[in-house]
Amino acid sequence: MNANLPWWKERTFYQIYPRSFQDSNGDGIGDLRGVLSRLDYLQWLGVGAVWLCPVYDSPNADMGYDIRDYEKIMEEFGSMEDFELLLSELHRRDIKLVMDLVVNHTSEEHPWFVESRSSRDSHYRDYYIWRDGRDGREPNDWASYFTPSAWTYAPATEQWYLHLFSEQQPDLNWENEEVREHVYGMMNRWLDKGVDGFRMDVISHLAKAPGLPDGGNGSGYIFCPERFSFQPRLHDYLREMRRRCFTGRDCMCVGETAFVTTETANSVVGDGQELDLLFQFELMDLDGAETKWDVRPFDLSRFRTVIDAWQKAIDWNTLFWGNHDQPRIVSRFGSTATEEERTASAKMLATALYLLRGTPFIYQGEEIGMTNAPFTEESQLRDVESLNLLKEARRTGREAWAWRGIEAKGRDHSRTPMQWDGTANAGFTSAESWIMVNPNYREINVERAKRDPDSILHYYRALIALRGRTEALLRGDFTLLLPDHPQLFAYRRSWEGQDVVVLCNFSSTPAEIPAALRGRVLLSNQGTVDGALEPYGAVVTALVSKG
């Protein structure tokens, strides 16, 4: 008998972005009652756990990632009663719930920051990172994710505060023990309510380099993740957090460990005393260059190298490439040239990723092959990152470049409403939606996909079920196959004499399957598999073992 895997290794996760999932009261904004009304769908799909993006009280400068009150539900999303009902209805269906934990920063409207900025003598001053300027300028040369400088000047107290994201998201000072105590208390209250764990937002940035040294050599602002990622103190905080919050509970945490590498990964997941799982972004960096906005084409051999390296580097990966910060994967690594290619490539991509060794995280709408949205005007955008990028690009005469970047990688692509059916607003809302609905919703929607047994949706459902019942796919070792093949991405998963082979054609031309890799077909996105894969074809086979 095989020992049970922990639930967070066995189950398939589904990420919900509540603002865009389902509106229940006709204000154009998704909400908790809306999520509640779709739980049967998740159950039907085979989802075992949900990661819910932030639902806390927030002024929404960064769509909920700027929290004003960690223990209150955002009014637009509903009430604490709605939340508790949602949690119990999920649990009744044996679906776990993982919350977003955003504690690198708060909203500038959080009472701690309101107090902190009010006076240098405030008890809360040290909850954030305040510094004197240098010759009337910023305390150091750090750039933020969303703004040229990571510092904003507060005239009232004549000092600067640090924000790695927008100026509405001041960074908490994790050196301050009281801050940490507050955070642990808050986490424990959510866990006591019954939530099953946390997805930890930009958790690798909690500790900053002591003394906040410059990142560059004096030639302007510089984005310098090495100054605020994987600092030694990070490990103290994560260990303390685990001790204080998770001891004796069957919960999990997955860290959004921005800038993690195959070398640093085991420092946070290696001994089980910090994080259970981590999100790494090397796959997401494949089609960027100096910045994510410098778009370059997909390259199969680099893709393969990254997957292989991560499968070897840590025992258990997270398997994801869609979330609320990423463009739609079928538009990104697949093809939307024709309806046929969209369908084939969406299924092929799911096969390539979710049968690797690790835990799948599916992002809402991915299971019906939702695509990037045809944004053409600034007024259609909602995301602070894209809007700030455009503002800055206009100043420096790079607007065309910025638009190309937004068309390929803007975060709003994944935030357009879930496409439920072919009625007005895709069945998401009866009012005008807070962000545009992708106009392709009449062709691409859940209702239509459910009726078509060959749809992407049915394929996802079959894939989730296959993974769940196949020991080799759940537990097996990973071996990369065909390392130099120009079209095929291939690997083997092996467990106790059972070999399962996954073959995916990343190209728009047919590819022959090497004879040694042909076996009994467990799943495929093509009608028959006669020794060849069609364009974007995929097949999963059980090899007859030689022993």
Any idea which residues carry the catalytic annotation?
Answer: 201, 256
For 280-410, strand residue ranges (E) read: 317-319, 358-363
503, 348 Cβ separation under 8 angstroms: no
User: What residues between 29 and 48 interact with Ca ion by CB under 5 A?
Assistant: 29, 31
Non-local CB neighbours of 310 within 8 Å, separated by 6+ positions: 262, 265, 280, 282, 317
Question: Cα(first)–Cα(last) distance of the chain, in Å?
Answer: 21
x-marked contacts with Ca ion along 13-32 as a string, rule CB under 5 A: ----------x-x-x-x-x-
Question: Least separation, in Å, of the C-beta of 78 and ligand GLC?
Answer: 21
DSSP letter assigned to residue 492: E
Beta carbon of residue 438, minimum distance to Ca ion (angstroms, whole number): 19
Q: Which is nearer to Ca ion, 25 or 176 (CB)?
A: 25
If binding is defined by CB under 5 A, does position 412 make contact with Ca ion? no
Contact partner at residue 383 from Ca ion, ligand GLC, none, CB < 5 to 8 Å by partner kind: none
Eight-state DSSP code of residue 64: T
Neighbouring C-beta atoms of residue 244, cutoff 10 Å: 15
The secondary structure of 443-456 as a DSSP string is: TS-HHHHHH-TTSH
- Backbone φ/ψ region at 534: left (φ over 0), alpha (ψ -120 to 50), beta: beta
The whole-angstrom separation of Cα 424 and Cα 441 is 9
Which residue in the shown chain puts its C-beta closest to ligand GLC?
65
How would you class 220 by CB atoms within 10 Å of its CB: exposed for 0-12, middle for 13-18, buried for 19 or more? exposed
Please check whether residue 500 is in contact with residue 474, taking contact to mean a CB–CB distance below 8 angstroms.
Answer: no
Nearer to ligand GLC, 62 or 196 (CB): 62
Can you give the binding site for ligand GLC, defined by CB under 6 A?
A: 62, 65, 102, 165, 201-202, 256, 324-325
Of 109 and 325, nearer to ligand GLC (C-beta) is: 325
Question: Is the separation of the CB atoms in 25 and 15 below 8 Å?
Answer: no
| Cβ pair 516, 482 in contact under 8 A | no
The answer to whether residues 262 and 310 touch, using CB atoms and an 8 Å cutoff, is: yes
Least Cβ distance, residue 30 to ligand GLC (angstroms): 16
Minimum CB separation from Ca ion for residue 24, in Å? 6
Judged by beta carbon distances under 5 to 8 A according to partner kind, the member of Ca ion, ligand GLC, none in contact with residue 70 is none
Q: Which is nearer to ligand GLC, 319 or 348 (CB)?
A: 319
Q: Which does 165 bind (CB under 5 to 8 A by kind): Ca ion, ligand GLC, none?
A: ligand GLC
Report, in Å, the least distance between residue 418 CB and Ca ion. 13
Q: Which does 325 bind (CB under 5 to 8 A by kind): Ca ion, ligand GLC, none?
A: ligand GLC
Closest of 99, 120, 10 to residue 53, by C-alpha? 99
Q: Which CB atom, from 141 or from 256, has the smaller least distance to ligand GLC? A: 256
Q: How many CB atoms lie within 10 A of CB 421?
A: 16
The size of the interface with Ca ion (CB under 5 A), counted in residues, is 5
Identify what 23 binds: Ca ion, ligand GLC, none; CB under 5 to 8 Å per kind: Ca ion
Q: Report how far residue 28's alpha carbon sits from residue 60's, in angstroms, rounded to the nearest whole number.
A: 15
- Least Å distance between CB 29 and Ca ion? 4
CA 245/CA 265 separation, integer angstroms: 22
Q: How far is the CB of 65 from ligand GLC (least distance, A)?
A: 3
Phi and psi at residue 435, to the nearest 5°: -140, 155
Give min distance, CB of 518 to ligand GLC, in A.
42
Task: Please give the distance of CA 142 from its chain centroid, rounded to a whole number.
Answer: 25
* Cβ-based nearer residue to ligand GLC, 325 or 341: 325
Question: What residue has token string 């006709």?
Answer: 26
Q: Among positive and negative, which fits the CA dihedral 263, 267, 269, 272? A: positive
> For ligand GLC, which is the closer residue by CB, 381 or 529?
381
Taking the least distance from each CB to Ca ion, the nearer of 37 and 266 is 37
What residue ranges bind Ca ion (CB under 5 A)? 23, 25, 27, 29, 31
